[in-house]
Amino acid sequence: MQKITVKASQSYDVIIGSGVLGSAAGYIGDVLRSRRTVIVSDDNVFPIYGTKLKETLEKSGFAVSEFVFPHGDQSKSHEVLLNLYGFLAAQNITRSDSIIALGGGVTGDLAGFAAASYLRGIDYVQIPTSLLAQIDSSVGGKTAVDIPAGKNLVGAFKQPKLVLADTDTLSTLPDVFFDDGMGEAVKYGMIWSEELFDLIAEGNIKDHLEEMIVKCVDIKREVVETDEYDKGLRMILNFGHTLGHAIEKTQNFCGLSHGKAVAVGMYLITSAAEKHGIIKDSISGKLRSCLETNKLPWSVDIPAETLFENSINDKKRFSDDINVIICQTIGKADIVKLPISGYKKLITE
């Protein structure tokens, strides 16, 4: 079991390891002000882990209620958020009470945004049960819901009080979701650590899961501590995401999953940057082989023009320029500001 302390606007621990959930009540009891909490979880995860967590917390003196919503991306919506606000109000949740987000990225984002906004902010704890949430979304305080105009367009920065990542929960994760999380793991290797990249590229990551999660979270810690509010360095976490989001959007969010779209986005931007001489090292071959080894895609049947069009209204765009994240070499990312015309050339020529 390992502990990483994130020193952001609010300091908190991320506890990572096998069996962490069994000690959840102790960890949670140490950081929360009141003994009243609401577990927010979906109908896949709550029956597996929620019932037990609730019992454990109640045995430790917590008054616990649960808000369980239908699983799936479509639940990261203002409708479900409004239902959650209504539930919190009906339960008389006060400013000193809390929310526990138990589940994957959708749950963490939804519950985190409810915690950021309900009564102008209440405490929350993240208990991520998917690989993607354990290595990325549960740490760093980005919370959001989707609106019809786009994904994650309404959100807030709100750091959790604690993150409990029990690696045992990954054993109940279907392979497709595990592979999806690996897309973000490869990203951490590409942007920050050749050592992590090589570990993932070896291909037997399930034997090194805790080590990989700890490395990813530690990278995120350093990035978030440097740039909590996404004004500079944190943008490197979006490596592969601008084209990844464009792929998801072109496929109406019914095609490649997020992590797989990011995998393709990383490869496309890296090979384009190589072709245009923006990077000197030839790294796209190594990236491609690492993606293949980890059952991740690196190409998609969408015209480059379409990808360009669907990527220029990305949140990361500033006026007539766009910030593109490019890895000069494995383990080092740069933020390259390009005029839209230059970006178009990069993607389409």
Residues that bind ligand GLY (CB under 6 A): 136-137, 140, 142, 230, 234, 237
16: which residues sit within 8 A by CB, 6+ positions away?
A: 1, 2, 3, 4, 134, 165, 167, 210, 213, 214, 217
Instruction: Name the residue among 18, 11, 31, 23 with its Cα closest to residue 214.
Output: 18
294: which residues sit within 8 A by CB, 6+ positions away?
A: 179, 182, 186, 200, 203, 205
Nearer to ligand GLY, 93 or 325 (CB): 325
Least Å from the CB of residue 35 to ligand GLY: 30
Task: Give Dmax over CA atoms of the chain in angstroms.
Answer: 63
Nearer to ligand GLY, 140 or 240 (CB): 140
Least Å from the CB of residue 337 to ligand GLY: 18
> Do the Cβ atoms of 102 and 40 come closer than 8 Å?
yes
Distance of CA 289 to the CA centre of its chain: 24
Least Å from the CB of residue 258 to ligand GLY: 10
Nearer to ligand GLY, 230 or 274 (CB): 230
Nearest residue relative to ligand GLY (C-beta): 237
Least Å from the CB of residue 52 to ligand GLY: 29
Least Å from the CB of residue 33 to ligand GLY: 26
Least Å from the CB of residue 47 to ligand GLY: 28
Nearer to ligand GLY, 49 or 192 (CB): 192
**What's phi and psi for 37, nearest 5 deg?**
-150, 160
Residue 241 carries which side chain, given as an amino acid letter?
H
CA distance 157 to 173: 28
Nearer to ligand GLY, 142 or 221 (CB): 142
DSSP H helices in 19-150: 24-31, 45, 51-59, 78-90, 105-117, 131-132
Least Å from the CB of residue 237 to ligand GLY: 4
Nearer to ligand GLY, 139 or 201 (CB): 139
Tally of CB atoms within 10 A around 203: 14
Q: How many residues can be counted in the chain?
A: 349
Least Å from the CB of residue 80 to ligand GLY: 21
Nearer to ligand GLY, 114 or 325 (CB): 325
Q: Which residues of 226-265 are buried (b: 16+ CB within 10 A; e: fewer)?
A: eebebeeebbbbbbbbbbbbbbbbbeebeebbbbbbbbbb
Nearer to ligand GLY, 117 or 137 (CB): 137
